[in-house]
Amino acid sequence: MRKIPNHGTLRMTKVAYPLGLCLGLFIYVVYIKWHRASATQAFFTIAGAASGARWGQQAHSSLGSAIRGHEVFYGIMFDAGSTGTRVHVFQFAQPPGETPTLTHETFKALKPGLSAYADDVEKSAQGIQELLDVAKQEIPFDFWKVTPLVLKATAGLRLLPGEKAHKLLQKVKEVFKASPFLVGDDCVSIMNGTDEGVSAWITVNFLTGSLKTPGRSSVGMLDLGGGSTQITFLPRVEGTLQASPPGHLTALQMFNRTYKLYSYSYLGLGLMSARLAILGGVEGKPVKDGKDLVSPCLSPSFKGEWEHAEITYRISGQKAGSLYELCASRVSEVLRNKVHRTEEVKHVDFYAFSYYYDLAASVGLIDAEKGGNLVVEDFEIAAKYVCRTLETQPHSSPFVCMDLTYITLLLQEFGFPRDKVLKLTRKIDNVETSWALGAIFHYIDSLNREKSPALK
């Protein structure tokens, strides 16, 4: 929001000015300040009056007018993931005739994820309200009524029984409706996996400048969450399009261009869900008779407990043989025939984030704060080393051998060669590389095209 300049403080002097001159100067200053303020506040008044109604055609129209008529606007996206809920508050600037730019982002995360409240939905409201308060602090009061507020849930809620997920979303919707922001009947929803991957692709290509520059090569995106994992890239080879299985291609319209993307989300192959599968457990089902889940990916001497999706499992390692080879064999069983391999990924630059980043940082493959580049084989080398040390001594994380082995084989199943370079990052230009920016940005772009036929 543009601020009115501060011209300093008037001081009394002994000079005597004619009354008419003083009065004229006073009127002039008041006029200038009123004129500048009204130029800014006119947008607030008109948009605010129109946006008190429910989200519908009127609200769409007022928000579209606000975006096109003013160079600053905001969007609030809640990411309800399997391990936590995060709020992203985005500030955009859009000079007339130009594409928007992101000028600021505020991010805050809370644990656990919404799915943890499946049996006590009332408890979910406190965390949602705490994150809403963050948005109130970051967005000027006059923008509240025209700032869209959206929550999209990912794999954590996709894995819940339908009725439990519905009740959680209804509670969030109640909290949203009581907020001062612009919300509608579809303000909360479960995001399908493809949209998650596409939105993350938009984020990374928007932040790297690929979407703004026609003809510039785009980059691919790898995201490894707790419940699902996504891969998205823009194919340049006709063979990729022809060989892609049903459901692996999707069309995207952005900046007056249409992209045909390869994008797929693998539900159940996120890191936490994969852990459970490797251990031999079943999602959402406690082990009968309280028996241990035994895995060759754990230290032979390990015995402990692990909580996943509100269920506590007793887990233990098993003796015999080389830990990495045994673990790799088990992981291969879990991944067999579940991942589509594409040859073109060898020739596309890829960014990888979420658990790819966290695991690489935890074992020193990249800088924990800055990220960095590595090759796929680095994960394999780290996995073999950690698994070997676990055979004789404990590690601070009992799952580190399992997780690194899983990532190694997952990347190879996607078709990445061992010498393929991946760029691991949490932020680009100090902005989180999650799907949230892409989702809110795609929404705004779609709204502008809807209200401005010339942009279609």
Residue 103 shares a structural domain with residue 217: no
Mean of pLDDT values over 188-193:
88
DSSP H or E stretch at residue 431:
strand 431-432
Residue 344 shares a structural domain with residue 424: yes
Quick one: what percent of the chain has pLDDT higher than 90? 55
**What does the alpha-carbon distance between residue 226 and residue 397 come to, in Å, rounded to a whole number?**
17
Mean of pLDDT values over 306-322:
86
Q: In what order do the strands lie in the sheet with 303-308?
A: 293-295, 311-317, 303-308
Q: Is the pLDDT of residue 441 over 90?
A: no
Domain containing 146 — which CATH number? 3.30.420.40
Task: Say which residue, 143 or 255, is predicted with more confidence.
Answer: 143
How many C-beta atoms lie closer than 10 Å to residue 396's C-beta?
A: 6
Residue 81 shares a structural domain with residue 173: yes
pLDDT given for residue 326 in this prediction = 95
pLDDT given for residue 209 in this prediction = 86
Asked whether residue 391 is domain-assigned, the answer is yes
Q: Is the pLDDT of residue 405 over 70?
A: yes
Condensed to tens digits (0 to 9), the pLDDT of residues 256-309 reads 788 999 999 999 999 999 999 999 999 888 888 778 999 999 988 899 999 987
Residue 224 shares a structural domain with residue 338: yes
Task: Say which residue, 181 or 13, is predicted with more confidence.
Answer: 181
Using DSSP, state whether 111 is helix, strand or coil. coil
Q: pLDDT category, 447, cuts 50, 70, 90?
A: low
Q: Is the pLDDT of residue 456 over 80?
A: no
| Main-chain dihedrals φ then ψ at residue 2, nearest 5 degrees | -70, 135
Asked whether residue 308 is domain-assigned, the answer is no
Among 93-97, 273-277, 374-378, 420-424, the range scoring the smallest mean pLDDT is 93-97
Q: Is the pLDDT of residue 141 over 70?
A: yes
What integer best gives the mean pLDDT of the chain? Answer: 82
Condensed to tens digits (0 to 9), the pLDDT of residues 212-246 reads 776 678 999 999 988 889 999 999 999 999 999 99
> What residues form DSSP beta bridges with 359?
none
Q: State the total domains in the chain.
A: 2
Number of Cα atoms under 13 Å in the Cβ half of residue 100: 28
| Main-chain dihedrals φ then ψ at residue 412, nearest 5 degrees | -65, -35
Mean of pLDDT values over 74-101:
87
Q: pLDDT category, 150, cuts 50, 70, 90?
A: very high
Domain containing 259 — which CATH number? 3.30.420.150
Asked whether residue 46 is domain-assigned, the answer is no
Residue 127 shares a structural domain with residue 229: no
Q: pLDDT category, 395, cuts 50, 70, 90?
A: low
pLDDT given for residue 397 in this prediction = 84
Condensed to tens digits (0 to 9), the pLDDT of residues 48-86 reads 323 333 333 444 444 444 444 458 989 999 999 888 999
Residue 265 shares a structural domain with residue 218: yes
Residue 235 shares a structural domain with residue 353: yes
pLDDT given for residue 254 in this prediction = 81
Mean of pLDDT values over 173-193:
89
pLDDT given for residue 174 in this prediction = 95
450: annotated active-site residue: no
DSSP H or E stretch at residue 277:
helix 271-279
Q: What is the CA radius of gyration of the chain?
A: 26
Residue 114 shares a structural domain with residue 233: no
Q: Return the HEC string of 371-389.
A: EEEEEHHHHHHHHHHHHHH
Tokens of 214: 């026609």
pLDDT given for residue 98 in this prediction = 75
**Owner of token pair 């890239």:** 233
Tokens of 293: 């889940």
**Owner of token pair 């955009």:** 92
Residue 224 shares a structural domain with residue 153: no
Residue 164 shares a structural domain with residue 84: yes
Q: What contacts 267, CB < 8 A, 6 or more positions away?
A: 155, 158, 159, 193, 227, 228, 273
**Helix, strand counts (H, E) of the chain:** 13, 17
| Main-chain dihedrals φ then ψ at residue 235, nearest 5 degrees | -65, 140
Structural domain including 226 reads 199-271+328-430
The alpha carbon dihedral of 126, 194, 61, 441 has a sign of: positive
Asked whether residue 28 is domain-assigned, the answer is no
Last residue of a domain, one of 125, 155, 190: 190
Asked whether residue 24 is domain-assigned, the answer is no
Last residue of a domain, one of 162, 190, 218: 190
pLDDT given for residue 19 in this prediction = 39
Mean of pLDDT values over 404-429:
96
Q: Is the pLDDT of residue 419 over 60?
A: yes
Last residue of a domain, one of 190, 224, 239: 190
Residue 418 shares a structural domain with residue 399: yes
Asked whether residue 79 is domain-assigned, the answer is yes
Binding site residues for ATP, as ranges? 226-230
Binding site residues, as ranges? 226-230
pLDDT given for residue 106 in this prediction = 93
Task: Say which residue, 64 or 415, is predicted with more confidence.
Answer: 415
Residue 170 shares a structural domain with residue 206: no
Q: Is the pLDDT of residue 29 over 80?
A: no
Asked whether residue 185 is domain-assigned, the answer is yes
Asked whether residue 282 is domain-assigned, the answer is no
Q: What is the pTM of this model?
A: 0.75
Q: Is the pLDDT of residue 34 over 50?
A: no
Pairing of strands 85-93, 311-317: unpaired
Q: Which listed residue (98, 163, 174, 196) is catalytic?
A: 196
